[in-house]
Chains A and B, each alone.
Chain A
Amino acid sequence: MRRCAAILLAAVLLCRVTSAEAAEKGQILRAGDLLAQPFIDAAKAGPVTANQPVTILERRGAWASVESNGTKGWVRLLNLRLEAGAARPGASRPGMASLRTGSSGRTATTGIKGMDEEDIRNATPDYQELELLGTLAVTADDARATAQKAALKENTVAYLDKGRSRK
């Protein structure tokens, strides 16, 4: 019984991950070439034009694997725009504003908990919650141990300046 549950959970996890990554749609920002591999000097896999629609298959650091008109290849993540209005599959949609009415959006629709400007304006500072927050904090040693267990590697990276415009 327990084993079934574990298998089921694993299957659910797998579904969540794959479906969340599978169906994202986007557009190419600047014309160029898809690359066969996620490296700047990789072989070209086929040309793409500005605004060409693509399906995003995978994200890997600075790169995304995309598919368009039957051609697959890698493109810089920063050369992609996600299709507007498309909520990510697998993620819950915030707010669901369409269910709210009136200027304040305060219709008592169950399950919707927003935090808008008015909520902050009207908020009374909650020191019980602040105290609870304090109890959840972890020490630097705890954080380091967790990072080491996860095999996170520290890198030496200098702060960035603003850089130059592309044009």
Chain B
Amino acid sequence: MIARSILRAALAAALVSLPGMAQAQFPNIGGLVKGVQNVKKLGDSLRKIPEPEEIKIGGDLASIILGAAPLVQDAEKQRYVNRVGRWLAMHSDRPDLPWQFGIVETDDVNAFSMPGGYVLISRGMFDQMRNEAELAGVLAHEIAHVAKKDHLGALQGSLRNAALGDFTEYVGGNGGIGGAFKAALISAGKDMFTRGLNHDDEYDADRMGVVIAARSGYSPYGLVGVLQTLSAAPEEKGYALMNKTHPLPVDRIERLDRAMGTKFDTVIAVVEDLPSFVALRAAPAPAAAKSTPARAPARSRPRRRN
């Protein structure tokens, strides 16, 4: 707790060189010193923010996806994905983030990740998988995005001009002025989820993901299997957003082919599948609802569909 306040103070000091108070007390001055105020923007510092702030941003962004598609009500399946995901993340460059994985209830095929260690895959994607190595391949690809801070890089463009004072307030968590930064963040997050990351970041995450999978004992060809499924997928709406936000699966396969070559032929201590995956895949999902963790009663989220 103490460490956190020191961190916050240090962050505030580092990011805000002028006291925001002056502007708050004399609002008219704001307009006069606009030229000066422009210097006090978030600028290029988003990728360098401390971990607690990164996790806070990730939580807000994860809430967007969860607002569009809630978690699958199957605690056993969710815990399973967390165990596989956490094990993979332990073989990434950021093993100590508070990693959180979830399957969200939608038929569409997609997967998302957020700064700070959040990874969400759709039930539609989970249902398409042949084996646990394919699940590992997709999770490891998302873990790679988080490890490389690709999202912070993507958000940077939209948030560069956000006021530092707003960001500091957002970090402080007292609402108020921080609400302006949060609104900008939510909007930037929606842009990111609907437009996707750089294609180069996607190819890099593929290459890093297959290595993370192999390090964790899974066949690095699991991701290839998923990409093959996607490349042969019918032109349906269920794949539209995934396709819009990623390079063509055939291009990703070709790049992986180029990078992997026969390098993994000697890595033989890997598995394709485990009984845990087979059992869960075959389990009828609705019947498992009784093992769902307690939800807050009387949730008022409007369900737009189904």
**A binding-site residues for B, Cβ under 8 Å:** 9, 12-13, 16-17, 20-21, 39-40, 59-62, 77-78, 80-88, 91-98, 100, 105-106, 108, 110-117, 119-130, 132-140, 142-144, 146-147, 150, 152-166
> Could you say which interface size class chain B belongs to?
35 or more
The answer to whether A130 and B86 touch (CB under 8 A), given A137-B100, A163-B261, is: no
**A interface SS class:** loop
Q: Which of A83, A117, A163 contacts B241 (CB 8 A)?
A: A117
The contact string, 1 if C-beta is below 8 Å from chain A, for chain B 254-278, is 0111111111110101111010101
Q: Chain A residues with Cβ under 8 A from B231's Cβ?
A: 81-82, 84
A145 to chain B, nearest CB (A): 9
B154 to chain A, nearest CB (A): 15
Cα A83 to Cα B228 with chains together (Å): 9
A147 to chain B, nearest CB (A): 5
- In contact, A143 and B128 (Cβ under 8 angstroms): no
Q: Chain B residues with Cβ under 8 A from A78's Cβ?
A: 224, 253, 256-257, 260
Q: Chain B residues with Cβ under 8 A from A139's Cβ?
A: 86
- In contact, B265 and A62 (Cβ under 8 angstroms): yes
Q: Chain A residues with Cβ under 8 A from B306's Cβ?
A: 110-113
Cα A158 to Cα B220 with chains together (Å): 13
Cα A116 to Cα B256 with chains together (Å): 28
User: With an 8 A cutoff between CB atoms, is B4 at the interface?
Assistant: no
- In contact, B190 and A121 (Cβ under 8 angstroms): yes
Cα A21 to Cα B129 with chains together (Å): 11
20 sample A-B contacts, Cβ–Cβ < 8 Å, listed by A number = A84-B232, A86-B234, A93-B238, A94-B127, A96-B107, A98-B236, A115-B241, A120-B64, A120-B68, A123-B64, A125-B66, A133-B71, A133-B102, A136-B82, A136-B293, A143-B83, A154-B216, A159-B207, A160-B208, A165-B258
Cα A152 to Cα B218 with chains together (Å): 8
Residue in B closest to A158 when the chains form the complex, CB atoms: B211
Cα A24 to Cα B193 with chains together (Å): 32
B104 to chain A, nearest CB (A): 7
Residue in B closest to A165 when the chains form the complex, CB atoms: B258
- In contact, B67 and A123 (Cβ under 8 angstroms): yes
